Copies of this chain bind each other. A is one copy, B any other.
Amino acid sequence: MTILRMGYVQARVTDLGKARDHDAITLPLYPTAEEDGELYFKGWDEWDHHSLVLEQGGVGAVKFGFKVEKVADLDGIEARAQAFGDCTVTRMSAGENREVSDGVRVHLPCIDHTFEFYHSMTAVGLEVGTHNPDAFPRHLVGIGAPMLDHALVIGEDIDTAARFFMEVTNFYTTERAQTDLSDNPTTIAYWLSSMQKVHDIALLRGQNGKLHHFAFQTRDWNDILHAADIFAMDDVPIDVGPTRHGITRGETFAGGYTSYRDRPTVIWTADQLAKGIFYHAREIKESFTTVYT
């Protein structure tokens, strides 16, 4: 059983108009639908209908959708989630999420987050097509976010949540931050991968139900600079400027290495955590770890 990817994030924003401008102009993402106060977007290198749904009112994550490879995988997830306990498991119908198939919805009270598993979404095609395609859309202005990449969510009991993702959805731990190297450390954060990405989802110990961030891929370090330039032009506050994360060796929003299930798990200790999170400045910015929504 393989989770293909985190296929969509649904989030609340206080000002849907401003969010539309940011996403459709600054990033830019491609708007694919708008109705009933909900905006749907996809990246230029995605083929499914959407990867981001924004709704008016409040802030924070509503839910995260994971796409499975085969319809039958849903039965396995449902069965293992019920066996796992510590969560509520319900079936959802096709159409409950616009353009999304039927699936399984799991709420994890240990971190107070909701995850949906589905097997298909209406395909709308790649912006560059599939026949002799160009390297990127010719008239792209701005950063150009190709694809949704991962989310970092926050909760109180991330140990149970990490165990859920490993036992129920077959994720593995690529990196882990913990208090120390003793036999009984407290884990501060888990980075979890389904296949070869440095993380599909990461879990940070903190207040239940909070979202730290979700991120779209950029292609490389140069795109990070370009993105930061565009954000500056469009007056988007940047909490963390271009820098390298020691953890997962990525840069802000992107990058890293190709991971494998047999790769040794990387361990970050609390005393070096600043280096891990902000490889260059080596200080934990209060905003990065507490100003989530």
**A positions within 8 Å CB-CB of B:** 2, 4-5, 45, 47, 67, 69, 123, 125-126, 130-136, 138-141, 146-147, 181, 195-197, 217, 220-222, 225, 228-234, 237-238, 241-244, 246, 249, 251, 257-258, 260-269, 272, 275-276, 278-282
Contacts and interface: CB of A to CB of B under 8 A. Distances in A.
A251 B229 CA distance: 11
Given A130-B267, A221-B221, A261-B69, A244 B135 contact: yes
A125 B262 CA distance: 12
9 contacts: A4-B260, A132-B269, A132-B276, A135-B246, A228-B243, A229-B280, A241-B243, A241-B278, A241-B281
Contact of A264 (B5, B47, B141): B47
A231 B241 CA distance: 17
Contact of A229 (B135, B257, B262): B135
Contacts of A69: 261-262
Q: When A and B form their complex, which 10 residue pairs have the shortest distance between CB atoms, in order from nearest?
A: A132-B272, A196-B196, A222-B222, A228-B280, A241-B280, A195-B195, A220-B220, A130-B264, A135-B229, A134-B233
A246 B131 contact: no
Contacts of A221: 220-222, 225
Given A147-B258, A241-B280, A135 B249 contact: yes
Contacts of A126: 264
Contacts of A237: 282
A233 B138 contact: yes
A67 B258 contact: no
Contacts of A280: 228-229, 231-232, 238, 241-242
A253 to B, nearest CB: 13
Residue of A4, A220, A276, A279 ringed by the most chain B CB atoms within 10 A: A279
Contacts of A234: 138
A125 B146 CA distance: 33
Contacts of A244: 135, 225, 228-229, 232
A276 B135 CA distance: 10
Contacts of A263: 47
A260 B5 contact: yes
